[in-house]
């Protein structure tokens, strides 16, 4: 499965109004400096000490937004 990794700040900058809210992400522990990843299905995971936690889902059209926000491509 391919992912794009980015900071919590980059993720919050690309969230659309009909997706999970930045406030909801912060409630589950997302900070601006967290390492997060998005897979090709739109699942958003945050890196914990020893595992990844699923914390939300992005809706259609997120692939290009994720590339722009992170400055990275799918790997």
Domain count, the chain: 1
Domain assignment of residue 26, yes or no: yes
User: What are the tens digits of pLDDT across the range 20-51?
Assistant: 888 888 899 899 999 999 999 999 999 999 99
Give how far Cα 58 sits from Cα of 18, 49, 50, 54, 55, Å: 9, 24, 24, 12, 10
The answer to whether residue 18 scores a pLDDT higher than 90 is: no
The answer to whether residue 17 scores a pLDDT higher than 90 is: no
Residue matched to tokens 């595992």: 51
Determine the structural domain holding residue 31 and report its residue range.
Answer: 3-70
Domain assignment of residue 46, yes or no: yes
Domain assignment of residue 11, yes or no: yes
The residues facing 37 across adjacent strands are 5, 45
The answer to whether residue 60 scores a pLDDT higher than 90 is: no
Domain assignment of residue 42, yes or no: yes
Domain assignment of residue 75, yes or no: no
Domain assignment of residue 64, yes or no: yes
């Amino acid at each position: 499965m391919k992912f794009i990794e980015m900071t919590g700040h980059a993720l919050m900058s690309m969230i659309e109004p009909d997706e999970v809210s930045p406030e909801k992400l912060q409630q589950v522990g997302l900070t601006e400096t967290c390492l997060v990843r998005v897979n090709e299905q739109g699942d958003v995971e945050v890196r914990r000490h020893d595992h990844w936690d699923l914390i939300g889902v992005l809706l259609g059209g997120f692939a290009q937004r994720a590339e722009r926000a992170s400055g990275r491509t799918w790997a």
